[in-house]
Structure 1
């Protein structure tokens, strides 16, 4: 039976939240600010600010508040050629020079020094490898690549590489022959897993689009200031779709009409057969509540996460690493055999830990303290289970077997800030002060706001969004508070429960859905 995969996009004025559900279980959650800058894949023209010989690295100004870090090993073998190509365009500011006719320089020495190739004040083309995290600026690379749905274009490289996830040797040979026949001189490509089975027309169209994207960067040199963004990676929403669409989605739900059309057009371009799965959500209930995501977020992002029959995880974060402790809790034991119970809890914990790593996008070093087991076969079974669970994780990772202390070490690539969501709520009545006003007057406060907005602001249709418990109180009975206020203030009043709100939180909206201030 096919697994149900849904992608839910919650669009607000400040951000887009993207949730991936598998069988209605939340697996990934990404939040993209509307004004996000310095995303992984963005290509900048920057200026070297400081050379650090001791680190064999340089700090580069790309327009971020902190200088970005560029290590010698991240320059790429064709760095000298790239620098020469950039310098030509900085000086002439005319029509872009074709790569095919450009004479390549000698490849960079892997054991060289940063002082051999970079000087303070030098203009360089760089690409964001890691977004700014915590107090650090972006991490850069200079081996430029432009990613598409089926391939990654690499200028100044003549190599054609095929994804190792394509198992068929015949298909690998077909793709290599095909690309050799259509790729221009001076460009290399990495064929992604999604390219498997694709026809030449599809691949050629994408290749030309990526080359056009590369050439358009140099057309900007005519009126460029340094530092400056040259090529922007597609937004996080489209990037996630591009990477995830190898999975057979059942639905993609979006609550914003403009982005719905954008995503639908994008899907129609890269995968026409999937266009119909993109759907516009127009329900009155917030989209994350409709699909049960809001409740899962509250349950899954806390310090303590329950997962099976009373067993739970405790997840602690530090600057250096993440620590996960597995506890059996008050779990009723199906057997008197401690080893069997430990194995049962540990296997279930492995499933939840793999999910948590993707969900929170935890990176760096993760240390997991499993329940002690003595049987080597059980330890191996747990190690195999964790490796299997992590196969769906798109981030690069490495898992070590259990140590003699029962600890498992996992390293996971982190290129973006980790997802932090505070699930503990400040006391809604005292606002954290420890002192509260008379809660019996809360409905009076609501009535005062309704009266003011209807009489003074002349609003005839109002929507009051409150916590479900408060909504139940206001809607209770044949002659409810809602009905009383509607008659009293000559307005149409709608009361809508919103699970994401704290107990005493409320917001009032007009007929167009715009929030009203008072």
Structure 2
């Protein structure tokens, strides 16, 4: 009768694959339809079907890929051809296929004699998996601050695009890589409740248990020579670009309700709808967009693979905390003197780096060089101190470290 009870019963052992991480109160999603993803194709054992991504529109290209895979596919396997396979050669796909078949053989060897809850095959590390999905000719540089991960990524790029392996760089500076390239500051500005779009316009992003809500505001933008309707359209089109970017950046999934500025003309609502669809067409997560309602609302459903990114961007009020910034300055000086005394006893004379919030860094380094607290503390302790500004730190957060960034004390 097709009931699950007739196929398996409590105590049976079943090979499953996790397809979705646990989110909130929901556990992980598992399937017994095993698939192994590669760069150009997804291998599906025991299937026998060949499918081509619907995002490849060209009929001749779809047929070419189907025949190409059919000519090299081993018996007992099925394949899903990914969107990035469009235009690639048989050699590239065959190399990808051989790698996936090899991984399946590894899984088969590991599963024999395995006890329940044992992991028999892992996905490649997240960095390599991300590169597998998005790496293309637009990449100018890949900077890594972890030596082992650098070796992995370098090896992966050499395997898939040997001529571009030189774009992988190892970050060796004492300044953290996100700080060095301004990523911390960009993250804080992009993940706030309010997202500025320029010219006074902004978005307000709210997260609830049921859905995400985005409100579009024109702020103090003045559309000189524009009618109210044209002004609303211009702001809405600008907002649509930022919303599409924010959905990918924050990995927002589930139901998203966007409150655009009201527009009276039907053609303007259609233009906004087409613009939103076009901007979302490159999003790799499955999604559906409904046309604007009469109230200017656009509803979007987007595949939820993992919890949405929520990064704290507000500073705590120092006045509400036990340690005020001024008290912290005294504590930092005392801690520095303790560290220097300890390091002198061990015969170490290398500089000590103090990582602090940008406001505190400015305070410690204000004035002429010989007037700064950084210089005065160094002279009093007889040990060199270097203050490092860290965008990612909270107001009262600090860390003493050596030249390699390793924590001291």
Query: Equivalences for 1:256-267 in 2 at 5 Å?
Result: 256-267=146-157
SS of 1:123's equivalent in the other structure is: coil
Residue of structure 1 aligned with 2:209, choices 315, 319, 334:
319
SS of 1:486's equivalent in the other structure is: helix
How much has 1:369 moved relative to structure 2?
A: 0.9
Q: Is residue 333 of structure 2 the alignment partner of residue 447 of structure 1?
A: yes
Corresponding residue number in structure 2 for 1:211: 101
Corresponding residue number in structure 2 for 1:487: 379
Q: Is residue 110 of structure 2 the alignment partner of residue 245 of structure 1?
A: no
How much has 1:202 moved relative to structure 2?
A: 3.1
Residue of structure 1 aligned with 2:144, choices 236, 254, 262:
254
How much has 1:474 moved relative to structure 2?
A: 2.3
Q: Aligned equivalents of 1:157 and 1:185: distance in 2?
A: 10
Corresponding residue number in structure 2 for 1:61: none
Corresponding residue number in structure 1 for 2:35: 145
Residue of structure 2 aligned with 1:328, choices 218, 226, 237:
218
Q: Aligned equivalents of 1:276 and 1:440: distance in 2?
A: 47
Aligned alpha-carbon RMSD (Å)? 2.0
Q: Deviations for 1:258-291, whole angstroms, at most 9, x for unmatched residues?
A: 2112101101112223322212223343222222
Q: Aligned equivalents of 2:403 and 2:59: distance in 1?
A: 61
Q: Aligned equivalents of 1:278 and 1:301: distance in 2?
A: 28
How much has 1:132 moved relative to structure 2?
A: 0.6
Q: Aligned equivalents of 2:326 and 2:65: distance in 1?
A: 71
How much has 1:325 moved relative to structure 2?
A: 1.2
Query: Equivalences for 1:87-126 in 2 at 5 Å?
Result: 112-126=2-16
Higher strand share: 1
Q: Deviations for 1:300-344, whole angstroms, at most 9, x for unmatched residues?
A: 212121213212211111111111111112222324621111111
Residue of structure 2 aligned with 1:236, choices 126, 130, 140:
126
Corresponding residue number in structure 1 for 2:92: 202
Going from structure 1 to structure 2, the CA distance change for 1:268 and 1:255 (only over 3 Å counts) comes to same
How much has 1:487 moved relative to structure 2?
A: 2.2
Give aligned pairs, total: 403
SS of 2:16's equivalent in the other structure is: strand
Corresponding residue number in structure 2 for 1:69: none
Bigger RCO of structures 1 and 2 (CA < 8 A, at least 6 apart): 1
Q: Which TM-score applies when normalising by structure 2?
A: 0.92
Q: Is residue 368 of structure 2 the alignment partner of residue 477 of structure 1?
A: yes
Q: Which TM-score applies when normalising by structure 1?
A: 0.74
Residue of structure 1 aligned with 2:305, choices 415, 423, 443:
415
Q: Aligned equivalents of 1:306 and 1:255: distance in 2?
A: 31
How much has 1:406 moved relative to structure 2?
A: 1.5
Q: Is residue 297 of structure 2 the alignment partner of residue 297 of structure 1?
A: no
The worse-fitting range, judged by mean Cα deviation, of 136-145 and 195-204 is 195-204
Q: Deviations for 1:22-69, whole angstroms, at most 9, x for unmatched residues?
A: xxxxxxxxxxxxxxxxxxxxxxxxxxxxxxxxxxxxxxxxxxxxxxxx
Corresponding residue number in structure 1 for 2:255: 365
SS of 1:408's equivalent in the other structure is: strand
Q: Aligned equivalents of 2:86 and 2:265: distance in 1?
A: 43
Corresponding residue number in structure 2 for 1:392: 282
Q: Aligned equivalents of 2:130 and 2:375: distance in 1?
A: 46
Q: Is residue 46 of structure 2 the alignment partner of residue 180 of structure 1?
A: no
Q: Aligned equivalents of 2:368 and 2:51: distance in 1?
A: 69
Corresponding residue number in structure 2 for 1:401: 291
Q: Deviations for 1:5-34, whole angstroms, at most 9, x for unmatched residues?
A: xxxxxxxxxxxxxxxxxxxxxxxxxxxxxx
Q: Aligned equivalents of 2:101 and 2:292: distance in 1?
A: 47
Higher helix share: 2
Structure 1 residue runs of 5 or longer lacking an equivalent are 1-108
Going from structure 1 to structure 2, the CA distance change for 1:143 and 1:316 (only over 3 Å counts) comes to same
Q: Deviations for 1:423-458, whole angstroms, at most 9, x for unmatched residues?
A: 112223533xxx665x54443222111110011343
Q: Is residue 393 of structure 2 the alignment partner of residue 501 of structure 1?
A: yes
SS of 1:125's equivalent in the other structure is: coil
Q: Aligned equivalents of 1:265 and 1:436: distance in 2?
A: 48
How much has 1:247 moved relative to structure 2?
A: 5.5
Corresponding residue number in structure 1 for 2:20: 130
- 4+ runs deviating over 6 angstroms: none
Q: Aligned equivalents of 1:330 and 1:226: distance in 2?
A: 61
Q: Aligned equivalents of 2:235 and 2:89: distance in 1?
A: 47
Q: Aligned equivalents of 2:145 and 2:319: distance in 1?
A: 32
Q: Aligned equivalents of 1:119 and 1:338: distance in 2?
A: 65
